[in-house]
Amino acid sequence: HSCTLDECFQFYTKEEQLAQDDAWKCPHCQVLQQGMVKLSLWTLPDILIIHLKRFCQVGERRNKLSTLVKFPLSGLNMAPHVAQRSTSPEAGLGPWPSWKPPGCLPTSCPLDFLYDLYAVCNHHGNLQGGHYTAYCRNSLDGQWYSYDDSTVEPLREDEVNTRGAYILFYQKRNSIPPWSASSSMRGSTSSSLSDHWLLRLGSYAGSTRGSLLSWSSAPCPSLPQVPD
C-alpha cells in the first residue's frame, strides 16, 4: 500500500462535519449546530518540516505504519493547500493579523509555494525500539548522502524515498542562496562554489596554518604542513 504526500495534505485539510458532542453554538440563534470545519494553511515558512504519522491505534495498542509515502525531491507545490485570499480593497478587514499582511496569490509569485527536499530522517524498527538514519543533500553539488551513525555513503536519488521516511525537510525555493546547487546558478563551476566557503572561512589571527585562500587556487590543493 502507498500514497502520495499531496494525498496526505488533502486528507489532513479536508472538510469535516462536527460531531454532535462537538457541535458549534450559533451566536445568532443560540442553537447548537453540527457545522463543518476545515483546516487550511495561512502562511508558509522558509523551512517546511513534515512529520509523518507512523502509528495507528488498535484498541489499547499502537502499531507502526510502514506505508510508502511518495514525496517529491523537488518542486513540492503547496499552493493548493494554502487558504485563498482576495486582493480586493474590501478584503482589508480579513482575519489575518495586521502585523503580517497576506502574501501574493499562487498565480502571481509561484516560487513562494514551491519547495525542494534537502533532508529525510528515517526510522527503522518498531514502536518499542529502532534505529534512526538520515539522507541529506549536499547544497553545493546536489549529491545525496546516507548517514548511518559514523558511516556516510553516496545515495542515488531513486533511493531517497523509502518506507522508513519519518520526517521530511523542505526549503522554500525562493529562499535558497544563489551559490546552492538548487538555485538558478547551476552553471557555476565547482571551484567557484568551493571558493564561497573559502572566502567565508578566511584565516585565523596567529594561525600557523595560514589562510585557506593562500592555497585554494592550487590545481590539487592539500593541507599545509603544520610545524612540529
Structural domain for 51, as ranges: 42-83+104-176
Is residue 98 over pLDDT 60?
no
37 assigned to some structural domain: no
The pLDDT tens digits for 145-173 are 999 999 999 999 999 999 999 999 999 99
Average pLDDT, the chain: 75
Who has greater pLDDT, 204 or 135? 135
Is residue 51 over pLDDT 90?
yes
Q: DSSP readout, the chain?
A: -EEEHHHHHHHHT--EEPPGGGPEEPTTT--EE--EE---B----SEEEEE---EEEETTEEEE---EEE--SS-EE-GGGBPP---SGGGGGSSS-TTS-----TTT-GGGGEEEEEEEEEEEEETTEEEEEEEEE-TTT--EEEEETTEEEEE-GGGS--TTEEEEEEEEGGGS-TTSTTSS-TT--HHHHHHHHHHHH---TT-TT--GGGTTTSSS--PPPPP-
What percentage of the chain has pLDDT greater than the value 90?
33
Q: What pTM was computed for the model? A: 0.67
Is residue 121 over pLDDT 50?
yes
Specify which of 21-30, 80-89, 151-160, 187-196 reaches the highest per-range mean pLDDT.
151-160
pLDDT confidence of residue 136: 97
26 assigned to some structural domain: no
Is residue 178 over pLDDT 70?
no
Give the number of domains in the chain.
Answer: 1
Average pLDDT over residues 21-44: 84
pLDDT confidence of residue 179: 56
* pLDDT band per the 50, 70, 90 thresholds, residue 5: very high
54 assigned to some structural domain: yes
11 assigned to some structural domain: no
Q: Which of 72-76, 85-89, 133-137 has the lowest mean pLDDT?
A: 85-89
CATH number at residue 73: 3.90.70.10
31 assigned to some structural domain: no
21 assigned to some structural domain: no
